[in-house]
Chains A and B, each alone.
Chain A
Amino acid sequence: MSLALHLPALQVVIPLISAPLAVLVRRGGWAFLIVTAASWAALAAAIALWLATADGATISYALGNWPPPWGIEYRVDRLSSFVLLLVSATAAIVLPYARASIEREIPHAQHYLFYAMFALCLTGLLGIAITGDAFNAFVFLEISSLSGYVLIALGRDRRALVAAYQYLIMGSIGATFFVIGVGLLYLMTGTLNLADMAERIGAIRESRSVLAALAFLTVGISLKLALFPLHQWLPNAYTYAPSVVTAFLAATATKVSIYLLIRFYYSVFGESFVFQKLPLPEIMLVMSIAAMFVASLVAAFQNDLKRLLAYSSVSQIGYITLGLSYDTVNGLTASLVHMFNHAVTKGGLFLFVGCAVAVAGGSSLARLSGLARVMPLTSFGIVLGGLSLIGVPGTCGFIGKWYLILAALEKGQWGLAMAVVTSSLLAVAYVWRFVETAYFREPHASLAGRKEAPPALLAPALLLAGAMLYFGLETSVSLGSAAGAAVMLMAVGK
């Protein structure tokens, strides 16, 4: 029995087991060690799987040795290994930060429960990315969502409760729509295995039930990924959640939902059906453009840095879905690479904001005025992340936008290329709001006598800041995986 053979199962099982262990030890310190060790083991598994699928191989793992399509199959290809890598790396970086961060934001008695919830959320997100079974994906979606609601509700502001409740209502409607879609597909094809479903769906694609399934899945997953105008839950949830939770969810939860959408579009329904027979690209194009402009504009008028960045997330998701709507290899590459790079950027940004909140005691822009004099490194990190949101060359945010423009020009769509550039100018506007308050104002009273955040908070944030620069210059990992996955999806998705 070789351990390497069971990597796909271990990828999910290790964080899953760490959650009850964290509850059993009932001590924050021990729970921290267990969950961190589990997340690093998950990262190691994800790296191993990513390397194993680098040449385009697909790993199929029959859970409990029940052969697919009867049993649940875990299926790792280039796309899912890329998402696994993103999610587990974010968790591995964010967890060391969590220890110092929740010390300030969450009552001591709840620490072990926080780690248990974090482990469950990680399990769910990894599970969605790895499973090849539609209903299993629903269960993992709910595992990650339910633990996510709890994590958000742990915020110390009382509005965190309302934000978590609203997210629960919206998220559950989304998940229910998803499961309705899966149910209709199951009724039509008699299978839940995604690969098997794709084979059987060919002849009945035009039937109304399959169309209804596609509609339910699209709306349900769009709610989860906060596609404009279904993003209402996102700003409050990101604003009032504990800093570390915001960073983790912003970097992973919406990205995994995008993965799920791409998986259903390309690997189940088929690219030619979804994008050529139906008006879906047009609908998605309109939503994406609206997200890029409206959400950026709204972001520029926010008075709270976390809320500003939350609206910026909605607009950045617009770029990712814009790439999808192109229906070309370059467009899909742009989506996938921007998904990865935006996760790095937003994860890093929210970690830096967490540093600022830890020192200043709040994230309203008024409180952060003059931040640069007190916390030069944190301010620099936020500005660097802002540059990446704008898409300045040299930062990772540039790569995705560059490919979006390339893909637009490839189709002869000058207007779309211009839209990407113009909406990036709006990003300048909201990033400038932070620059102005942090660098050109007198320090706020609550910052008097304060120093830079402690190294335990700063180090993981700086690591992600380094990643923003690294993935902006050296793109073989991010762009290589994204392009490989895009070519694979377009090839099988016919």
Chain B
Amino acid sequence: MNFGSHFSYAMTVFLMMAGLFVVIARGNLIKQLVGLGILQTSVYLLYIAPGKLIGGTAPIISAQFQIYSNPLPHVLILTAIVVGVATLALGLALVVRIRETYDTIEEDEILARDHGEPAHDGA
């Protein structure tokens, strides 16, 4: 029970907090998405690291191998990565549209530009 054996968990928590902090603290929409990406990546580590055994191999039945790594977390994270990519792509697409209509990607400037307009009285 020392720090070394929990290194991957420590990294996971660090990345998680760093990502969450960036999402909350930054006003730049792209930076927020970067933070979100870091937060999601930390989860990949949370799943993958415990699935790996040192010296373990892929689960192929053979007399030569005794220790196997669990393949399920890898598969799950493959799915989660796809979800993460889709989220990031959609987020970036929205930022592009926001920049086209507002000409800025700073949250406070966007809010300032909408300030004073009547609520939902579109064309």
Contact = CB atoms under 8 A, between A and B. Distances in A.
Interface of A: 135, 138-139, 142, 146, 149-150, 153, 156-159, 161-162, 164-165, 168-169, 172-173, 175-176, 179-180, 183-184, 186-187, 192, 239-240, 302-304, 306-307, 361-364, 366-367
Contacts of A142: 83, 86-87
A175 B83 CA distance: 10
Interface string B90-122: 110011011001100000001000100011111
**Nearest 7 Cβ contacts at the A-B interface:** A304-B119, A362-B121, A157-B122, A158-B101, A165-B94, A142-B83, A161-B98
Nearest to A145: B87
B120 A362 contact: yes
B78 to A, nearest CB: 11
Interface string B72-92: 010010011001001100110
Given A162-B98, A179-B80, A183-B46, A168 B120 contact: no
Given A138-B80, A165-B91, 13 more contacts: A146-B90, A156-B122, A161-B94, A161-B101, A165-B98, A168-B90, A168-B91, A169-B23, A176-B36, A176-B40, A192-B76, A239-B119, A303-B119
B110 A168 contact: no
B43 A176 contact: yes
Given A135-B76, A158-B101, A304-B120, A172 B40 contact: yes
Contacts of B94: 149, 153, 161, 164-165, 168
Nearest to B33: A169
A240 B120 contact: yes
A438 to B, nearest CB: 17
Interface residues of B, number: 36
Contacts of A164: 94
17 contacts: A142-B86, A146-B86, A156-B123, A161-B101, A162-B114, A165-B94, A168-B87, A169-B23, A169-B32, A169-B36, A180-B46, A186-B73, A303-B119, A361-B123, A362-B120, A362-B122, A364-B121
A367 to B, nearest CB: 6
Contacts of B68: none
Contact of B121 (A158, A165, A172, A367): A367
Nearest to B99: A161
B120 A157 contact: yes
A183 B47 CA distance: 6
A361 B97 CA distance: 24
Contact of B43 (A168, A180, A239, A362): A180
Contacts of B43: 176, 179-180, 183
A283 to B, nearest CB: 21
A304 B118 CA distance: 9
A172 B118 CA distance: 29
Interface of B: 16, 20, 23, 29, 32-33, 36, 39-40, 43, 46-47, 50, 73, 76, 79-80, 83, 86-87, 90-91, 94-95, 97-98, 101-102, 110, 114, 118-123
Nearest to A306: B120
A275 B76 CA distance: 31
Contacts of A186: 47, 73
A460 to B, nearest CB: 22
A283 B122 CA distance: 40
A361 to B, nearest CB: 8
A364 B119 contact: yes
Contact of A150 (B36, B50, B90, B122): B90
A135 B79 contact: yes
A240 B59 CA distance: 51
A173 B118 contact: no
Given A165-B94, A168-B91, A183-B46, A364 B29 contact: no
A367 B118 CA distance: 11
A165 B16 CA distance: 21
A430 B48 CA distance: 50
Contacts of A156: 122-123
Contacts of A303: 119
Contacts of B76: 135, 192
A40 to B, nearest CB: 28
Contacts of B120: 157, 159, 239-240, 304, 306-307, 362-364
Contacts of A157: 120, 122
Contacts of B80: 138, 179
Contact of B102 (A138, A153, A158, A168): A158
B108 to A, nearest CB: 12
B110 A162 contact: yes
Nearest to B88: A172
